[in-house]
Amino acid sequence: MFSIANSLILSKVKGALGLDQTVAFYFGAAPLKQMTMMYFASLDIPIMNTYGMSETTGAHTLHFGHNFRLDTAGPACPGAELRIHNPDEHGDGEICMRGRNTMMGYLKNDEATKDTIDKDGFLHSGDKGRIEKDGHLKITGRIKEIIIGAGGENIAPVPVEDNFKEVFPICSNIMMVGEQQRFMSALITLKVDVDPASNQPSHNLTQESINYLKKELGLDFKTTDEAIKNPKVLEHIQKKLDETNKKSVSRAAHIRKFRMVATDFSLPGGELTPTMKLKRKVTEKKYQHLVDEMFAPDAKL
């Protein structure tokens, strides 16, 4: 029935967006939520991840033709190579790249060049990922974002955070914390409207958030100040964290405690980069009082 759906609906949607002549859709620079990708794919607009750096002259991986997957960054471009440095038991390690598209080095900075390009000519990205059986690259986080627990466990927060956003769709941001701690905790924000004049997040919940709370919990809240203090909301979030923990690769990655933040993370607030990536150390320092609450010596699990 695809041809009928395409004729009656999908082609008209693409036409209204000015995308009816587009051959392929790609994104890069920052992650895109899986729910967003699935939504556009349902409109026959599969947005595919491409991966690379300025040091690799842009894209190093690319999806070709119908051989694409929405959950990967695709295979290496022709003539380009991928390697995973120091992979763990799951095959995850640092993504390294080599090819004619890779830079020769940093201008007048031999030390930085040696730190980035190894003796085999592979450029070390600082990103964490694995190469799937079909040759596609799966990006799983940043090497620098690895959290090391008190027992020496290496925990990648990004997959856990993404899993939570899937089961709790009105979560705007979640950030795991727990460096050198005996358990993992998290800071969580809800989706809110942004003030168009200042580009600052307000405390007014989005319509999606309002509808979700009304449908799931029977609560008619309009602001984060109301929602984050309500016992029913907090209990609901704990249940969603329990669901998330069941998907974690180890007990060390389980989120045991959380605190809600009334103001969403943002670029003006200092928690996000221009490409909307979390500034983890900056954010943790900004909300140090909440982190200290969760990891107080007398804190119970």
Q: Give this prediction's pTM.
A: 0.64
Q: Which DSSP category does 255 fall into? A: E
- 283: helix, strand or coil: helix
Laid out side by side, the sheet with 171-177 consists of: 171-177, 184-190, 255-260
Structural domains of the chain, count = 2
- Give the domain-ending residue among 107, 127, 144: 144
In whole angstroms, give the CA distance from residue 123 to residue 52.
11
CATH code of the domain in which 214 resides: 3.30.300.30
- Give the domain-ending residue among 144, 167, 184: 144
Both tokens of 94, joined, read 């640092």
In whole angstroms, give the CA distance from residue 8 to residue 287.
51
Which pairing describes strands 154-155 and 192-195: parallel, antiparallel, or unpaired?
unpaired
What pLDDT is stored for residue 276 in this prediction? Answer: 80
Do residues 227 and 213 lie in contact, with contact meaning Cβ atoms separated by under 8 Å?
yes
**Residue listed under structure tokens 């045991």:** 256
Both tokens of 82, joined, read 């991928």
pLDDT tens profile 6-33: 889 999 999 999 999 998 899 887 777 7
What pLDDT is stored for residue 226 in this prediction? Answer: 95
Q: Is residue 299 part of a domain?
A: no
What pLDDT is stored for residue 300 in this prediction? Answer: 60
- Domain span at residue 289 reads 147-294
What pLDDT is stored for residue 191 in this prediction? Answer: 97
CATH code of the domain in which 139 resides: 3.40.50.12780
Q: Is residue 300 part of a domain?
A: no
What pLDDT is stored for residue 65 in this prediction? Answer: 73
Assess whether 159 and 105 both reside in one domain: no
Q: Is residue 301 part of a domain?
A: no
pLDDT tens profile 238-254: 999 999 999 987 899 99
Assess whether 68 and 124 both reside in one domain: yes
In whole angstroms, give the CA distance from residue 123 to residue 91.
19
Read off the amino acid at residue 245. Answer: N
Assess whether 223 and 161 both reside in one domain: yes
For the chain, percent helix, then strand, then coil, each to nearest 5? 35, 25, 40
49 closest CA partner among 127, 163, 164: 127
Ranges of residues in the chain with a pLDDT under 50 are none
Assess whether 13 and 94 both reside in one domain: yes
Q: Is residue 23 part of a domain?
A: yes
Assess whether 13 and 139 both reside in one domain: yes
In whole angstroms, give the CA distance from residue 104 to residue 235.
54
Assess whether 111 and 167 both reside in one domain: no
What pLDDT is stored for residue 35 in this prediction? Answer: 81
